[in-house]
Structure 1
Amino acid sequence: MNDPTRIDAFAQVIRILERNLRYLESIGLEPATIEAYKKTISYLKRQTKEGIENIVGSRRGASTRVKRSMDPEMSDQELSVLPGDQVEALLSLPKLSRKFLERLATVRFGVSPGALSSLRSRNALVDKLHTLVSHERTHDAISRTTARTPR
């Protein structure tokens, strides 16, 4: 960070926090809360320029930041025949984007976009995909059992 204004602004925030600490002590806030507040100020004071940059951000807006996702490059054809074990392995990757997970649900399991929109979080979508894999395995087991049963 080569922006002295940001460093000065960060230092000003520290001074404000310290003044607030004196006020909080004077009104008799719980000692545990005061201690946590002091530790927070201490942590902020120890920050390097890079740490300050991470806290206050850069001049560039969030739109210029590159989001790192680990989305595999797979065609719809590859996704449609992906075995359940490999789907489970993909679901264990924390950096898969929601967009990729939605594509997987649509292409591999035929989930409608409307059904996907009702899943509010990425975790809900991952849970749904785990359930779909589990159901598919159950159906496969039933099919194998009925195929072996003589009529």
Structure 2
Amino acid sequence: MNRLHFSVYIIERDLLELKPELEAFLKIKELFHDAENQWEYMDGYSMFFDAKVTIFRELKERMNLPEDEKPLHISFFFKRLQDKSTTERIGLELNRFFKLPVFYGELRNTAGQKYELVPEKRFAKINLSGMIKTTGKVR
């Protein structure tokens, strides 16, 4: 497993807005940002995961929301083969960072240069702390 692909539906935030937070979270010195006719992406090397990272999605102007939600794709490229524990670790860390469900699977390039994640696993830990009031008394 040299490549791991994840997706998250976080459409309300621009990539440039997320850049400093992603650099801090992934421990990347600087993410290189670029945009083309259809895609916007960032590349860098994550010291946190010891992997090259590519983050990309279709340009917001090209999205027909909300019916046509486009995910933010995050791909990790490793020098050595990784095991399933790496997938679990990255998925849970991404879920913790985005506070949204994160999907893992195979990224396929379909017709018309569209990328689609075929999900194999969903990371969606929910934190209910602070939402449930208790009296502290046990009956």
TM-score by length of 2: 0.25
Please tell me whether Structure 1 or Structure 2 has the larger radius of gyration of its CA atoms: 1
Higher normalized strand content (fraction of residues) = 2
Higher relative contact order (CA 8 A, sep 6+): 2
